[in-house]
A and B are shown apart, each in its own frame.
Chain A
Amino acid sequence: MSTSEEPAAAVAQRILDSAGGDACVLVDDMSEVDVRFANNTVTSDGRRRLRRVSVVRYVEVPGGRSTGSASGTGDVDVEALLSAAELDALSAGPADDAAGLLDGGQDSDAYLGAPEVEPSSLSALLGELGDLLRRSATQHRVAAGFAEGSLVTTTVASTAGTMRRHVTPTAKLQLTLRDTSTGASVWAGSAGGSLAELSLAGIEASLDVRLGWSTRRIDLPAGRYRTILPPDAVADLVPLAAQAASGRDALEGHNVYSAPGSQTRIGQRLFDVPFNFRTDPNEPGLEAIPFVAARASSGDASVFDNGAPIGRQTFVEDGILKRLLWTRAGADKAGAQATFPGDNMILELPGSTATTADLISNSDRALLVTCLWYIREVDPATLLLTGLTRDGVYLVEAGEVVAAVNNFRFNESPLDVLARVSAAGRTERALSREWNEWFPRTAMPGIVVENFNFSSVSPAT
């Protein structure tokens, strides 16, 4: 048995010692606190601890190497996990992503215990939140939102010598305010490494400005509009372009990065604006796990790559597509560069210093859309997405926000959106409203998009 008190590296090493062949062990220790509120009151809260132990076995089978994996939480029976993984490997058949295990190196702190988020980190926030909720009730406002802080310690060890450990701290704070006298609703959020870094007062102040913009409201019809998207709204779109970046699917001819003749679009100019798009585990303020930790293989990730270092990976440089996602085995077959999914995303226009306020003041007439919602893929061939505006659409005229506007449904591809950018601002830490649970580490510029396609009006307010 393994208990959660035992250091993860010790558990992993014990499993590897008894594996009887090639194996990899992944241990995730998660600690989290959260509080949720709505209708000017707290609605739920939570404190949770989780250890998940995953075992991957690699075995020789006729025709190649196969893998099997099993995982469990809590006080897991590691011998049972090992047996289950081995049994699955023996019946799985040769793996397409087979590659030699690699020694991903050793971290000197690998045998340290996993840190926990203390519930006291909520206390300061709750005092401030209580004041905000009571104040909202007296100002004809209804507040809703969510705050959470987590620490995830990931340990990856393998019989090839890898013993890596990384602690990923994440904190997020989101606030929605509805003015019951005007019906206006606004949202903002921020992310960082701890709840103490995040400012509820700062978020509220930004929403005060937007509620001020909402004192006048006009209705506009569906159509194509020049549209300003602040960094948070850009972070609602870009992750879907990154997720679709499978090199294998592109080469096989069935994603948006495919080119005719069994080719990919690598080397093609995607955007006239010379954007760079990358992941980088060492990006200041967005530090992310710097090695591969795959519990199971999938189209773009391989358990054979576990422990492989993830460095800076630039997918788009000067607007030109440079890389797509490839496992080591897939890259080897395709003559491509192994590229792993990273845990952060950075889009930037080098040299740009404009703020979103500058983009507004430089616009004669545009819509300002602060937040997108319910975004789903409609057509994988074009990466057409549909979704809606939510909690903040405004009309900009002569460099000023002049009114709040009704909500719209949009149909757009993020690649087409970035290809129609006429101005972009400086890159800032951003929080996607819809995808922050999966992609909390993003930095994006505000952008001005020509002819953004709003295909219908939504009556939602």
Chain B
Amino acid sequence: MPGLDESFLELPLNGVSEAALGRARQLGCDHAEVRVERIRTQYLSVRDGALETSLDDTEVGIGVRVFHRGSVGFAAAASVSVQEAVRLAGEAVDLAKVVALALGEPVQLAGEPVWADAIWVAPYETDPTRVPLGDKVDLLASWTARLISSPSVDHATGSVTAVSEDKYYADLSGTSTLQRRVRVHPVVEAVALGGPAGFETMRTLAPPMARGWEGLLGAGCDLDGEIAALPELLRERLAAPSVEPGRYDLVVDPTNLWLTIHESIGHATELDRALGYEAAYAGTSFARPEMIGELRYGSELMNVVGDRTQPYGLATVGFDDEGVAAQSFDIVRDGVLVGFQLDRRIAAAAGRERSNGCAFADSPLHAPLQRMANVSLLSAPGGPSTEELIDGCGDGIYVVGDKSWSIDMQRHNFQFTGQRFYEIRSGRLAGQLRDVAYQATTTEFWGSMDGVGGEGTVVLGGAFNCGKGQPGQVAPVGHACPSARFRNVNVLNVRRESGR
């Protein structure tokens, strides 16, 4: 397994941290943090066998955050030198002094043990950003070529996003950490012309993965099998009946359910949102800290954890961007709210002794925010298979793969679509349906969950692009979950919603 990247270690990390933190101390800061990061991001897309997009960007820089007499200042630049570090520390202090004009409450941080010279490297085999472009193009081209060779497919696109992230963190308390992780996300989509809408699309369900290039070659998904099946699935979709809107029992596959968890549990249990600190943009939450131990979030089958230690989870780290060691913690136990996600500032504001390690910045040029841990729904010990959940459904709909998503700013009302919907008739799949969306409110939906799949149904999904904050930041986050069954859920017909 690879370790830290030598070329990153060649940057003047110690010199930068000593210069920035020394200057901050000299200027009277109570606390200061410095991050040096190098993030390499590649995006390739192939369309009908030909390369369409090739982006290869390496972002390097320093971010300095200072805490000065209760005020916070942040300054950053895309240049890594001792001189720049000194300048940034000064600029951050100057900014902290200016914003003190509008400070309503002094900023405090919850305590954290000192982690000196800590090193953490995610498990992977091949850095996906270092695989030669030609190899990547050949693989993507072969996928799309296979698809368009089918008479059921008119166009096909394939893309892969690959990221490597090297991060150095140090603060005035004495913590210093070095970390490296990678991630990769393949997507293959087929387009078929025809049908009542004029065309239909369908894509692979392979999730984004905190793995190296090996994730595309069988370690984290079965892309070959998915690509082989897409033409027939798409052909079936073109001929499928349009759903009759109404109330249905749903069996939701983990390839869809991860996103519902993300939106209706993950974001709803961020304490910065619940306390109003994200009110200007992403919103707040119906869940409040005073509801801990009281709020019935869902049925008694519902158990949810936040976990920044989960193997191959997209939010998995050794230490967060405030120097807090990664942790695992309960959010919902037996259907009752028992915890929130925290960073150090929010933990202090809520009177907690310690953060549970949910700070993250997506760039050296951005200050850390409270961001989501891997928030996962636990499987039922000895629980049913997906087929058994379907069998217990009677009549209903089986939902597979994520597509469209939307939820209100307090995380009540949501609407999701998917990649595929199957009619369930007398406990058996009876072919695909078109035009399905399901719409519910969070506690009603989770309260209707009467079946949770066993360990064998669990899939680790997630996203690269969870958005939050101003200026906007994106965070990778993973969600493991089993299949689950929900009763009496409102289903819309999206064609009829459009007035057609």
Are A46 and B75 in contact, with the CB atoms below 8 A?
Answer: yes
Of A37, A129, A376, A381, which one neighbours B405 at CB under 8 angstroms? A376
Are A4 and B102 in contact, with the CB atoms below 8 A?
Answer: no
Complex-state Cα separation, A377 to B405, whole angstroms: 8
The answer, yes or no, to whether A65 is at the interface (CB within 8 Å) is no
Which segment, of B115-123, B193-201, B298-306, B421-429, faces chain A?
B193-201
| Minimum C-beta distance from B106 to chain A (A) | 9
| Minimum C-beta distance from B264 to chain A (A) | 12
Of A50, A94, A382, A384, which one neighbours B77 at CB under 8 angstroms? A50
The answer, yes or no, to whether A209 is at the interface (CB within 8 Å) is no
Are A174 and B417 in contact, with the CB atoms below 8 A?
Answer: no
| Minimum CB distance partner of A375 in chain B | B406
Are A50 and B50 in contact, with the CB atoms below 8 A?
Answer: no
Residues in A whose Cβ lies below 8 Å from that of B98:
45, 119, 122-123, 126
Of B74, B78, B495, which one neighbours A45 at CB under 8 angstroms? B74
The answer, yes or no, to whether B14 is at the interface (CB within 8 Å) is no
Max count, chain B CB within 10 A of own CB: residue among A35, A74, A416: A74
Residues in B whose Cβ lies below 8 Å from that of A4:
77-79
| Minimum CB distance partner of B134 in chain A | A91
Are A73 and B58 in contact, with the CB atoms below 8 A?
Answer: yes
Of B52, B92, B104, B472, which one neighbours A298 at CB under 8 angstroms? B52
Secondary structure of the B contact surface, majority rule: mixed
The answer, yes or no, to whether A42 is at the interface (CB within 8 Å) is yes
The answer, yes or no, to whether A413 is at the interface (CB within 8 Å) is yes
Are B94 and A119 in contact, with the CB atoms below 8 A?
Answer: yes
Of A93, A142, A379, which one neighbours B137 at CB under 8 angstroms? A93
Are A45 and B408 in contact, with the CB atoms below 8 A?
Answer: no
The answer, yes or no, to whether A44 is at the interface (CB within 8 Å) is yes
Of A91, A96, A380, which one neighbours B133 at CB under 8 angstroms? A91
The answer, yes or no, to whether A144 is at the interface (CB within 8 Å) is yes
Of A296, A376, A459, which one neighbours B413 at CB under 8 angstroms? A459
Are B408 and A176 in contact, with the CB atoms below 8 A?
Answer: no
Complex-state Cα separation, A130 to B406, whole angstroms: 34
Residues in A whose Cβ lies below 8 Å from that of B60:
72-74
The answer, yes or no, to whether B1 is at the interface (CB within 8 Å) is no
Interface size in chain B (residues, C-beta < 8 A):
92
Contacting B at CB under 8 A, from A116-163, are: 119, 122-123, 126-127, 129-130, 133-134, 137, 142, 144-146, 148
Which segment, of A343-351, A397-405, A450-458, faces chain B?
A450-458
Complex-state Cα separation, A92 to B51, whole angstroms: 7
The answer, yes or no, to whether B224 is at the interface (CB within 8 Å) is no
Answer whether A32 and B471 are a contact pair too, CB < 8 Å, given A4-B79, A42-B103, A95-B51: yes
Are B279 and A142 in contact, with the CB atoms below 8 A?
Answer: yes
The answer, yes or no, to whether B236 is at the interface (CB within 8 Å) is no
Residues in A whose Cβ lies below 8 Å from that of B110:
none
Of B197, B275, B277, B413, which one neighbours A381 at CB under 8 angstroms? B197
Complex-state Cα separation, A372 to B51, whole angstroms: 37
Are B201 and A254 in contact, with the CB atoms below 8 A?
Answer: yes
Of A41, A258, A453, which one neighbours B198 at CB under 8 angstroms? A258
The answer, yes or no, to whether B353 is at the interface (CB within 8 Å) is no
Residues in A whose Cβ lies below 8 Å from that of B95:
33, 45-47, 119, 122
Are B76 and A178 in contact, with the CB atoms below 8 A?
Answer: no
| Minimum CB distance partner of B41 in chain A | A71
Contacting B at CB under 8 A, from A378-394, are: 378-382, 384, 386-388, 390
Are A46 and B367 in contact, with the CB atoms below 8 A?
Answer: yes
Max count, chain A CB within 10 A of own CB: residue among B76, B91, B98, B141: B98
Residues in B whose Cβ lies below 8 Å from that of A41:
102-105
| Minimum C-beta distance from A201 to chain B (A) | 15
The answer, yes or no, to whether B419 is at the interface (CB within 8 Å) is no
Of B80, B137, B367, B497, which one neighbours A91 at CB under 8 angstroms? B137
Complex-state Cα separation, A48 to B367, whole angstroms: 10
Of A34, A69, A299, A388, which one neighbours B406 at CB under 8 angstroms? A388
The answer, yes or no, to whether A297 is at the interface (CB within 8 Å) is yes
| Minimum C-beta distance from A321 to chain B (A) | 17
Are B498 and A386 in contact, with the CB atoms below 8 A?
Answer: no
Answer whether A456 and B499 are a contact pair too, CB < 8 Å, given A69-B55, A73-B61, A254-B199: no
Contacting A at CB under 8 A, from B75-113, are: 75-81, 91-92, 94-96, 98-99, 101-105
| Minimum CB distance partner of A73 in chain B | B78
Of B134, B197, B367, B407, which one neighbours A374 at CB under 8 angstroms? B407
Are B279 and A299 in contact, with the CB atoms below 8 A?
Answer: no
Of A34, A74, A88, A137, which one neighbours B54 at CB under 8 angstroms? A88
- Contact flags (1/0) for A24-60 with B, using CB distance below 8 Å? 0000000011111111111111111111101000000
What residues make up the interface of B, taking CB atoms closer than 8 Å to A? 43, 45, 47, 50-61, 71-81, 91-92, 94-96, 98-99, 101-105, 132-134, 137, 141, 154-155, 191, 193, 197-199, 201, 275-281, 283, 286, 365-367, 369, 404-413, 415, 417, 435, 437, 439, 441, 469-472, 490, 492, 494-495, 497-500
22 pairs from A and B in contact (CB 8 Å cutoff):
A4-B77, A32-B471, A39-B105, A41-B104, A46-B471, A47-B76, A48-B366, A49-B77, A69-B56, A71-B55, A72-B60, A74-B60, A74-B79, A75-B79, A75-B80, A91-B133, A119-B95, A376-B404, A379-B435, A384-B497, A390-B408, A456-B490
What residues make up the interface of A, taking CB atoms closer than 8 Å to B? 3-4, 32-52, 54, 66-75, 84, 87-88, 91-97, 119, 122-123, 126-127, 129-130, 133-134, 137, 142, 144-146, 148, 174, 176, 178, 252-254, 258, 260, 295-299, 373-382, 384, 386-388, 390, 407, 409, 411-413, 416, 437, 453, 455-461
